Amino acid sequence: MLFASARQTVVSIRMAQRVTPLQRLKFNNVALKKLPLDSSLEPGSRTVTGACFSSVQPQPLLKPTFVAVSEAALALLGLNADDVLCDPHGAECLSGSRVIPGSEPAAHCYCGHQFGHLAGQLGDGAVCYLGEVEVEAGAEQRSNPISTSPCGRWEIQVKGAGLTPYSRQSDGRKVLRSSIREFLCSEAMLALGIPTTRAGSLVTSDLYVQRDAFYSGNPRPERCSVVLRIAPTFIRFGSFEIFHPVDDFTGRHGPSVGRTDIRAQLLDYVIETFYPEIQRRHLDRQERNASFFREATVRTAKLVALWQSVGFCHGVLNTDNMSILGLTIDYGPFGFMDRFDPEFVSNASDKKGRYSYEAQPYVCRWNLARLAEALGTELQSAKAGAILDEFMTIYQDCYLDIMRRKLGLLRQQEPEDVELVADLLKTMHITGADFTNTFRLLSAVSCPAGEQKDRDSTDSVVELIVEQCASLEELKVMILSMAETNPGMFNMVTNQPEVTKQLEKIGRLKDLLVINEVELKIKQRDHWQRWVKQYRRRLAHECDEVSDPAAVEKERVRSMNSTNPAVVLRNYIAQNAIEAAERGVIFQRSEVQQLLKVLENPYSVSADLERPVWSAGNGSVQADGDSIKGQEVKENTKRKAAADTHQIPYNSKPPAWARTICVT
């Protein structure tokens, strides 16, 4: 009996050992328990009424294989990256090709205002909710609010896992290019300290779909790929718009018009689950809802201030791409600015510049107004209006606080700081300075000391900044391209401020036509010497009445170098990783995995950062937020670019071909 019992124990142990960490994930799919679920598995796209989710069956990939994984993101689920990679079914499980025990695949129903107009039912057309994983947060996660889930669960999704009721005319698949961009940027934003959804893994396959990247009638086969996305929830502003009545302008409406019971159910779920402190604080429903809306407003204002501080442009700020938790969500045609341009548009499809860099704060406020409308009688309009009136003040205060830290202004807050920041951005714009590299270089500007030492220090920093500024040809292209992204540039029947702005551009272009490269560099140097002189006067105030100016200076430099990144995910850097992946680089030498390592430490100047990356400048393609080189590039130019292949460090000034990259 003892022998038999021992044998049973051994067998049980061996069986337990065969249970992989992925199989041991503890699912508690609360969203599907508390919100209405459409359980029909009827194939094809359809209107889904009276439900927040629809059951789906992910379609498996052919020979799924890992391209890259994020150790930090997988750790949120209690998973070790090595265990996942060693799991023979790991790539299948994390791509939706094999159902993980306890998961309940579903797609979320939502609507949205797209480019200012109600689009009706949208929903997860290529995304599949797998479930919610319960994990006790580790000490590191608890100390970092943006790595903590307020409900103790992490929703996991697979993006690109096939058709859902919301796929409309698409095939529910994502290709390698868009998947690489989302995977990398999700993790890069976290490292920059910006609230974001996460990406745990990137899987590609031998399953191909046809994509006509240039919309030229020449489709080509591309590998289907899947990103594992992680967040406390992916509920968004548009989730509340499924109850939207018929829109006067478009004639469209949400699929669940009049279902105030489901709206109340959804709102209760969001507040009770993700804003528990608000739920505990308020007994009155209207007061509770107003407090929730104000918190959503504050988080959104702070989020967009963080975007602006690193030159990030989302690209498609529709209401369906705005997280109810104030996270950066749905990475498509995003972009980090190279040269500073307030009218920078990362999405080539956005011909009118609705979602330009400078417009982002105003668009976010507009989207919050649509959320208030969607809440209907759950939120008193007067209270909503008063909260919305606070948005710009919250945003501006947060933005100025960040900019002070970026400039090392830590000890005092002076009214002139607003002008100092404005003058800095104006100088950047006039000279075509690189946004990321210029801020990084400013830590080398010293507080006033000896006159000769000051002059030498200032001159050396100015020279480094001028090296990063645009050439004469680049500035001409920048100004001329504004007419392409802003069709109203030369339309003199627009409002007077717009006319004035466009005339200023014309004046700048005229000035550039009558000078040469040497004269331009002299002008750029003069602009920067004037601003640095202004900056150093302000830095002197930081040392007023301090016993140890050297300690103050040391802390300023440390703070600036931990606030101004040395590297961000520029389009050309992402493009290099895309092209390497498309050439079939194996996981162990994956450029995506190597680049992730760099992006996880954006404030460090390490050997990995300085490690050159291949920059071939070959033509690439677009779709769902993928980068392309402009189709107008002639074949001989492309051959020359390929012949000029060279290596560029991640933190270098972008190569000339970078400005031809287009994302749509």
Task: Give the tens place of pLDDT for each residue, 177-195.
Answer: 999 999 999 999 999 999 9
Q: Is the pLDDT of residue 6 over 50?
A: no
Residue 531, φ and ψ in degrees, nearest 5: -70, -40
Where b means 16+ CB within 10 Å and e means fewer, 230-259 reads bbbbbbbbbbbbbbbeeeeeeeebbbbeeb
Residue 555 falls inside a structural domain:
yes
Q: What is the number of domains present in the chain?
A: 3
Q: Is the pLDDT of residue 65 over 60?
A: yes
Task: Give me the sign of the Cα torsion angle 447, 451, 454, 458.
Answer: positive
Same domain, 575 and 552: no
Specify the pLDDT at position 623.
39
Specify the pLDDT at position 661.
84
Residue 409 falls inside a structural domain:
no
Same domain, 57 and 78: yes
Q: Is the pLDDT of residue 164 over 60?
A: yes
Same domain, 575 and 553: no
Of 563, 590, 617, which marks where a domain is finished?
563
Same domain, 26 and 175: yes
Characterize the bridge pairing of strands 312-313 and 174-175.
unpaired
Same domain, 95 and 225: yes
Specify the pLDDT at position 459.
86
Q: Which of 327-331, 431-435, 619-623 has the lowest mean pLDDT?
A: 619-623
Q: CA angle at residue 321 from 317 to 326, to 5 degrees?
A: 95
Of 563, 583, 600, which marks where a domain is finished?
563
Residue 507 falls inside a structural domain:
yes
Q: Is the pLDDT of residue 587 over 80?
A: no
Q: Do residues 306 and 180 make contact, with C-beta atoms less than 8 angstroms apart? A: no
Same domain, 549 and 620: no
Specify the pLDDT at position 612.
52
- The closest of 369, 662, 392, 416 to 537, measured between CA atoms, is 416
Same domain, 444 and 504: yes
Catalytic-residue membership of 320: yes
Residue 50 tokens, joined: 């009276």
Residue 54 backbone class (left: φ over 0; alpha: ψ -120 to 50; beta: rest):
beta
Specify the pLDDT at position 235.
98
Task: Give me the sign of the Cα torsion angle 311, 653, 181, 644.
Answer: positive
SS3 content of the chain, % helix, strand, coil (to 5): 50, 15, 40
Same domain, 481 and 612: no
Residue 300 falls inside a structural domain:
no
Same domain, 540 and 578: no
pLDDT above 70 as % of the chain: 84
Residue 364 falls inside a structural domain:
no
Specify the pLDDT at position 215.
67
Cβ-Cβ contacts under 8 Å for 554 (sequence gap 6 or more): none
Same domain, 459 and 522: yes
Residue 354 falls inside a structural domain:
no
* Mean pLDDT taken over the chain: 87
Residue 427 falls inside a structural domain:
yes
- How far is residue 506 from each of residues 110, 218, 351, 469, 480, measured CA to CA in Å? 44, 38, 20, 20, 9
Average pLDDT over residues 639-651: 55
Q: Is the pLDDT of residue 300 over 80?
A: yes
Give the range of the structural domain holding residue 78, as residue numbers without chain letter.
7-258
pLDDT above 90 as % of the chain: 71
Cβ-Cβ contacts under 8 Å for 491 (sequence gap 6 or more): none
17 band by pLDDT with thresholds 50, 70 and 90: low
655 band by pLDDT with thresholds 50, 70 and 90: confident
Same domain, 119 and 157: yes
Q: How far apart are CA 295 and CA 200, in angstroms?
A: 28
Residue 401 falls inside a structural domain:
no
Same domain, 437 and 478: yes
Specify the pLDDT at position 472.
87
Average pLDDT over residues 78-107: 97
From 38, 124, 320, 624, the catalytic residue? 320
Specify the pLDDT at position 483.
52
Residue pLDDT, tens place only, 473-501: 888 887 776 555 454 444 444 456 666 66
Of 563, 590, 606, which marks where a domain is finished?
563
Specify the pLDDT at position 510.
72
